[in-house]
Homo-oligomer: A and B are copies of this chain.
Amino acid sequence: MILMSINKNSRQPVFQQIFEQIKIIIEEDILSIGEKLPSTRKLAESLGVHRTTVYRAYEELWAAGYLESNIGGNSRVRQRPLIAKSNSDLEISTFDWSYRFSNAANLLYPYKELSTNANNVLLDFRPLSPDADLLPIDDYRKCMNTVLKNDGANLLNYGSSYGYKPLREQLAKQLQQHSISTSANEIVLTNGIQNGLELVLRSLCNTGDCIFSESPSYTKGLWLMKFLNLKVVEIPMTQNGVNIKALEQNLKKHKPKAIYTMPTFHNPMGISSSQEHREQLLALCEKYQIPLIEDGFEEEMKYFGKAVLPIKSMDRNKMVIYMGTFSKILFPGIRIGWIVAAEPLITKLGAMKQTTELSGISITQAAVHEFCKRGYYELHKKRIHRVYRKRMQQALQACREFLPLEFIHYSKPEGGYLMWFTLKNMAITESQFIQLLSNSGVAVSPGSQFFINKPKKVHFRFSIAHRKENEIRDGIIIIGNLLKKL
């Protein structure tokens, strides 16, 4: 018989008292492995408590690993050999992981979570994601409810490695707005553009292969290329897209597996290339027979200026790999991007998706499809265009009004969230400048992170995504004042 004392006036529930006492009895080996505990009825009687109370204590003991599953009879003390505890007194000979990593793992950029409000930053112009205040959460929630109710069992099973077909069909239709003619067979859904770019690069490149990137370019795209151990040739950007002349010179010297470009609302520069520039770029790809990876991450975010079509719309030879995403217009957190490309490549990408993670999350893809089908997407786009258009106009106007143009140059985007600033005639380093701005309560993204070969000039990226018009104005006034003081 086990000796236990229960205090019914204690603030600790009775079941927990039983739990704690039996736990000690087992840990002290008073009850050994394999020994039976009294039945719940017996123990309840002897303690004068309700049988369900004892039952609950046993359940907890089982959950904590002290008892064997009580199927078919009395509970027994469980064998717990050599259990490794975090706070164990046992001497632990730690396994040395440091020299166990692959070459690729050693090329990884260390991951740090972004602290958005460090250093008393009041005005944060770093985040490249939609303003939390403008997210259509309630409409999305309705769509999620509908698809869970109507087709939950099916959508919560493993899905197609190409992604939920109705959403691919919907995307093919939407892409017509940008004069891209395609169909669901030429589309694979990805976990955002980052995953899309990885799939594409892995499908085309071996370790050590050459790839062309614009300079500056998307930081995490560059990290990815480094992780895949690619040789990145940086082609300088102009204010009208990548330098075509420099591109051709490099095409004569190298044979890249692909060229990576962001013609529309470029990250980090915010600019878009002209239709003529796009034709030239595609013509070069055709001439040298090099696939073009066109990143249209903010394609839908045009606020003003003449319509310019994606390069993919002119792609008669199907050598352009077009990538898009819902991250910058709906939610980054749903991780839905897409790749549009020739079918032989899409087939490979589907197989790679299958091999690396089976499939994406169909239920999320179905909810977004419902969101588009109901017209919420077009409505939402119009609504946020109104807001961001004003913010971008405010930013451009404040730059004209408050910046000393002898010391700074800024890009003039027609959409998206980003502007790019370059200091002129200033004897200051990037980190000094970023620090001074930060002291004044303004955070921007240091420009050097968008290059592999560190730039000579000081640049920074400025995102209007998360700031109201007056904050944008204030931020630019602070930048202007700092420049005038220096």
Interface residues in chain A, defined as those with a beta carbon under 8 Å from any beta carbon in chain B: 62-65, 68-69, 71-72, 78-86, 88, 90, 92-95, 97-98, 100-105, 108-111, 113, 129, 132-133, 135, 137, 140-141, 144-145, 148-149, 152-161, 176-179, 181-183, 191-192, 194-195, 198, 202-207, 209, 220, 223-224, 227, 257, 275, 279, 289, 291, 302-304, 306-307, 309, 313-319, 331-335, 342, 344-345, 347-348, 350-364
The answer to whether A156 touches B183 (Cβ under 8 A) is: no
The answer to whether A351 touches B109 (Cβ under 8 A) is: yes
The answer to whether B351 touches A108 (Cβ under 8 A) is: yes
The answer to whether A342 touches B159 (Cβ under 8 A) is: no
Q: A100-B291, A103-B206, A350-B111 are in contact. Are A156 and B355 (CB under 8 A)?
A: no
List chain B residues, Cβ under 8 A from A347: 110-111
Q: A181-B84, A207-B207, A227-B355 are in contact. Are A68 and B306 (CB under 8 A)?
A: yes
CB of A54, distance to nearest CB on chain B (Å): 18
Out of B141, B195, B223, which one reaches A145, CB within 8 Å? B141
Report the 10 A-B pairs with minimum CB-CB distance, sorted nearest first.
A156-B331, A137-B152, A111-B351, A195-B357, A156-B333, A132-B153, A95-B319, A97-B344, A65-B179, A108-B351
List chain B residues, Cβ under 8 A from A72: 304
Out of B100, B141, B191, B356, which one reaches A194, CB within 8 Å? B356
The answer to whether A181 touches B79 (Cβ under 8 A) is: no
The quantity of this chain's copies bound in the complex is 2
List chain B residues, Cβ under 8 A from A289: 95
The answer to whether A102 touches B334 (Cβ under 8 A) is: no
CB of A374, distance to nearest CB on chain B (Å): 16
10 contacts between A and B (CB under 8 A): A84-B318, A97-B345, A101-B204, A108-B352, A111-B347, A113-B161, A137-B152, A140-B156, A158-B332, A227-B352
CB of A18, distance to nearest CB on chain B (Å): 18
Name the residue on B nearest A66 (C-beta): B179
The answer to whether A81 touches B275 (Cβ under 8 A) is: yes
CB of A375, distance to nearest CB on chain B (Å): 12
CB of A79, distance to nearest CB on chain B (Å): 6
Q: A141-B145, A203-B105, A333-B157 are in contact. Are A357 and B94 (CB under 8 A)?
A: no
The answer to whether A176 touches B92 (Cβ under 8 A) is: no
List chain B residues, Cβ under 8 A from A306: 68
Task: Give Cα A93–Cα B316 distance, bound, in whole angstroms.
Answer: 8
Name the residue on B nearest A72 (C-beta): B304
Task: Give Cα A95–Cα B273 distance, bound, in whole angstroms.
Answer: 25
Out of B98, B135, B202, which one reaches A104, CB within 8 Å? B202
The answer to whether B102 touches A202 (Cβ under 8 A) is: yes
The answer to whether A304 touches B71 (Cβ under 8 A) is: yes
The answer to whether A361 touches B361 (Cβ under 8 A) is: yes
CB of A101, distance to nearest CB on chain B (Å): 6
List chain B residues, Cβ under 8 A from A179: 65, 80, 83
CB of A219, distance to nearest CB on chain B (Å): 11
List chain B residues, Cβ under 8 A from A307: 68-69, 78-79
Out of B62, B81, B158, which one reaches A314, CB within 8 Å? B81
Task: Give Cα A353–Cα B195 distance, bound, in whole angstroms.
Answer: 10
Q: A111-B161, A344-B97 are in contact. Are A314 and B176 (CB under 8 A)?
A: no
The answer to whether B355 touches A315 (Cβ under 8 A) is: no
List chain B residues, Cβ under 8 A from A220: 354-355, 358
The answer to whether B335 touches A194 (Cβ under 8 A) is: no
Counting chain B CB atoms within 10 Å of each CB, the highest count among A129, A202, A360 belongs to A202
